[in-house]
């Protein structure tokens, strides 16, 4: 039997995150949507609270960070169902994104780069980078979804790596304390030579070229970073520096197995916010949503609501499964991409349909519906577009390589 009830410790953590979303994020959501690039000073209190909870051993309130589960196997014949860092991070990302996904992405020390550190760092690196705010720098001007096309280089010079290249669309790229940079240690060896490096904000040669003006998530800064003979310590490379041509860059790509369910959770949080607002609007308009009557026998708006709610539930369960598998050390690349694809598509569909069904009030700034419609689009793009996720799913299902199915 599958038990879909959340464990007590996760319910408490998710409830904490929801209170933050409702009491801190929602009241300032429009303020920072209209003040792009202005730092949300209210998050400093939030950061102090998160840090205090971490020091006391309490679950983090937010969590793009993901993480490893300390729970493993029990006796040899009795495996333990672990609900660890990934599940907690997913639920907390969902709840805080219900409040405001841009602000969620702006919480100090909760960057997407932290998920990369959690996924592939050594124990020593986890200790050293345990309290950093790490953003993720993958995309370059010459490519978007093809992560294997990285042109940024990393050359070992004595006890230091020297990085050169340009990274674009770096979430929290200006505010974070560290950047996880994807770079090639030997471009002649192709994708197998792509590694990830932790670059401190004050590293010589690292600079912010500009901040982007965006459609949504305006509370979050999105930067263009330049690495010009940027020097970092030799042991700031995540994982092994050795190039294994047969293995490819699976170790680096493992990062996405952690971050894609997190981004799915963000989309699910925004989706739920839009559905709740739409339900209130429909109810106030006298439209009853019934679960005992076939959709084709109900008001058209009610039937649409039921369809969208079913998609929301599907996305939620897929994301939960992907996170659970990560916590239980099961390969979840297929499930991570499935959850990201479903949640991203559902988020854009539901938020824009909610704007449409709400009419003039949905299109105006009187409510947050139109903002959620703008915010949701990026959640179907970053960490791998809808098309890329479908391609990955197809390869896994059909057992095809990237060379066989492009």
Q: For residue 359, give the H/E element and its range.
A: none
3 state DSSP class of 400: coil
DSSP string for 253-270: HHHHHHHHHHHHHHHHHH
Query: In the prediction, which pLDDT does 54 show?
Result: 52
Query: In the prediction, which pLDDT does 254 show?
Result: 73
- C-alpha 59: how far from chain center: 18
Q: What angle do CA 286, 291, 296 make, to 5 degrees?
A: 75
Pairing of strands 178-184, 134-137: parallel
Collect the ranges in the chain with pLDDT lower than 50.
1, 56-59, 62, 65, 68-79
Q: What is the C-alpha separation between 245 and 405, in angstroms, rounded? A: 20
Mark whether 383 is an active-site residue: yes
Given the residues 277, 304, 309, 383, select the one marked as catalytic.
383
Q: What is the C-alpha separation between 334 and 249, in angstroms, rounded? A: 17
Query: In the prediction, which pLDDT does 267 show?
Result: 98
Query: In the prediction, which pLDDT does 9 show?
Result: 86
Q: Are 315 and 268 in contact (CB under 8 A)?
A: yes
Q: What is the C-alpha separation between 213 and 404, in angstroms, rounded? A: 38
Q: Are 385 and 333 in contact (CB under 8 A)?
A: no
Q: Are 229 and 155 in contact (CB under 8 A)?
A: no
According to DSSP, the residues that pair with 141 across neighbouring strands are none
Query: In the prediction, which pLDDT does 155 show?
Result: 97
Nearest to 20 by CA among 57, 62, 52: 62
Nearest to 152 by CA among 199, 184, 200, 112: 184
According to DSSP, the residues that pair with 135 across neighbouring strands are 179
Query: In the prediction, which pLDDT does 59 show?
Result: 44
Instruction: Give φ, ψ of 134 to 5 degrees.
Output: -110, 125
Non-local (6+) Cβ contacts of 207 within 8 A are 225, 226, 228
Q: Are 180 and 134 in contact (CB under 8 A)?
A: yes
Query: In the prediction, which pLDDT does 239 show?
Result: 80
pLDDT tens digits along 207-234: 999 999 999 999 999 999 999 999 999 9
């Amino acid at each position: 039997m599958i038990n879909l009830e959340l464990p007590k410790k996760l319910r408490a953590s998710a409830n904490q995150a929801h209170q933050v979303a409702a009491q801190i994020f929602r009241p300032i959501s429009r303020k920072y949507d209209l003040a792009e690039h202005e730092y949300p000073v209210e998050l400093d209190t939030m950061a102090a609270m998160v840090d205090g909870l971490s020091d006391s051993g309490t679950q983090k309130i937010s969590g793009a960070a993901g993480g490893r589960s300390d729970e493993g196997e029990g006796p040899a014949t009795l495996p333990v169902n672990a609900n660890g860092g990934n599940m907690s991070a997913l639920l907390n990302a969902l709840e805080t994104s219900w409040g405001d996904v841009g602000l969620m992405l702006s919480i100090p020390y909760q960057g997407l780069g932290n998920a990369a550190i959690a996924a592939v760092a050594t124990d020593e690196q986890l200790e050293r980078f345990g309290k950093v705010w790490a953003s993720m720098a993958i995309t370059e001007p010459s490519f978007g979804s093809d992560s294997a096309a990285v042109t940024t280089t990393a050359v070992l010079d004595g006890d230091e790596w020297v990085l050169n290249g340009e990274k674009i669309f770096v979430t929290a790229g200006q505010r974070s304390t560290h950047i996880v940079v994807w770079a090639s240690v030997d471009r002649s060896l192709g994708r197998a030579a792509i590694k990830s490096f932790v670059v401190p904000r004050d590293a010589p040669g690292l600079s912010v070229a500009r901040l982007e003006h965006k459609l949504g998530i305006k509370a979050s800064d999105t930067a263009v970073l330049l690495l010009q003979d940027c020097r970092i310590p030799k042991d700031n490379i995540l994982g092994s520096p050795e190039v294994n041509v047969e293995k490819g860059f699976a170790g680096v790509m493992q990062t996405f197995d952690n971050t894609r369910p997190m981004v799915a959770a963000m989309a699910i949080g925004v989706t739920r916010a839009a559905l709740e607002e739409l339900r209130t609007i429909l109810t106030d308009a006298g439209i009853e949503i019934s679960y005992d009557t076939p959709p084709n026998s109900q008001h058209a708006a009610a039937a649409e609501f039921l369809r969208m709610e079913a998609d929301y539930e599907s996305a939620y369960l897929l994301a939960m499964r992907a996170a659970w598998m990560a916590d239980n050390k099961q390969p979840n690349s297929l499930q991570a991409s499935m959850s990201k694809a479903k949640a991203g598509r559902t988020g854009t569909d539901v938020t824009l349909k909610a704007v449409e069904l709400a009419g003039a009030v949905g299109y105006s700034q009187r409510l947050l519906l139109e903002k959620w419609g703008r915010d949701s689009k990026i959640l179907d793009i970053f960490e791998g577009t809808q098309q890329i996720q479908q391609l990955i799913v197809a390869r896994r299902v059909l057992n095809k390589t990237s060379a066989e199915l492009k």
